[in-house]
Amino acid sequence: MSGPWEGDYRGHVVAQPSSDAQSETRSYVWGLGLAVVLTAIAFGLAVFKVLAGSALLAAIGILALIQIAAQFRFFLHIDLSRSKREDLQLILFTGLLILIMVGGSLWIMASLDQRMMG
Amino acid sequence: MSVQVRHHPGINLSHARPEDERHTEVTVFGFWTFLMNDAILFALLFATYATMVNRTAGGPTGPELFDIGNAFVETLVLLVSSFTFGMGAVALKEGRERAVTLWLGVTLVLGLGFVGLELREFASLIGQGATAQTSGFLSSFFVLLSTHGLHMLVGCIWIVVMLVQVSTFGLSRQVRSRILRLGLFWHFLDLVWIVIFTTVYLPAVAS
């Protein structure tokens, strides 16, 4: 808890931003920077046709997952610390449900499509 | 000098009484449960879209219709609004009421800008004859995008309500707790939008 912004506490009302607010601001700046860079890369890959077909889909999918993780970390303050374990478990469980439901739906519909339309 | 401990995600406010803190912890966890519920709703709309994306019924296709420049601007507006809300959250933590009002106001303008851009896009699509009734592809597109857009609109209304509450009650405990949950909602909509541009706009522009 020491740093240049802490100053001298004795008899002072500290007007400077606390170290906590500083680190939170830094966290939001990091979040914004990462999000803009990842978004620009994803749009760049697609618009300038750097990759095509399934390679492109895989690349932008991975970029999206990284960006989601970054926003959880920097904007929503979810990390691996013990105090956030419950929330993280809730999010991961939801992720599992989504994986089962979305993956299952796509699988069934693609299979039906292949057998009935193809 | 006390060590600040973060007890829950989002903005962590210091509470004078421990029972207040427990109350906030419980309501925030409940709100997370609602958000994850909402995430499943969006996930199934994405699954519907992915199934329908090639079912154009002879109508216009995604590559013919989508304006990638507009989607990019919408993305940037939304990202910056998430950041400005974050700045508001920091100001809230420090108890600077004017700064909270200012940042919430900036976020509101960006949010309304996003909704405006989206409505302009819808109007242009409908003008080209690409209505929700045209094909399965366009039905699922409009349902997915307008569900997100309606969430954004509700978020904007919520910001207005919070601005009024801040000016009336100041940064009271309830007001701070409500702004905290609004922040989770706002950042969540940003996450949904990342999946939208990744699954809807980018594959269409590349093909």
Assembly ipTM: 0.84
Q: Per-residue confidence at A5, pLDDT binned at 50, 70, 90?
A: very low
Tokens coding A23:
């680190």
Query: Is the pLDDT confidence value at B76 over 80?
Result: yes
Average pLDDT for chain A: 82
Nearest to A75 among B47, B82, B198 (CB): B82
Q: Per-residue confidence at A52, pLDDT binned at 50, 70, 90?
A: confident
pLDDT reported for residue B19? 64
Across the interface, whether the CB atoms of A57 and B6 are under 8 A apart is answered no
Nearest to B90 among A24, A32, A81 (CB): A24
For residue A95, give how far its alpha carbon lies from the nearest alpha carbon of chain B (Å).
9
Residues of B in contact with A21 (CB under 8 A): 90, 93-94
Across the interface, whether the CB atoms of B7 and A76 are under 8 A apart is answered no
Q: Provide the 10 A C-beta neighbour count for residue B169.
A: 11
pLDDT reported for residue A118? 66
For residue B187, give how far its alpha carbon lies from the nearest alpha carbon of chain A (Å).
7
H helix intervals, chain B: 18-52, 62-65, 68-94, 97-127, 136-169, 173-196, 202-206
* pTM listed for this prediction: 0.86
Nearest to A67 among B32, B194, B203 (CB): B194
**Cβ contacts of B28 within 8 Å, gap of 6 or more:** B8, B9, B10, B177, B180, B181, B184
Residues of B in contact with A63 (CB under 8 A): 198
pLDDT reported for residue B49? 95
Q: Which of B94, B194, B196 to mutate to test the interface with A (most CBs of A within 10 A)?
A: B194
Residue A4 per-residue DSSP state: T
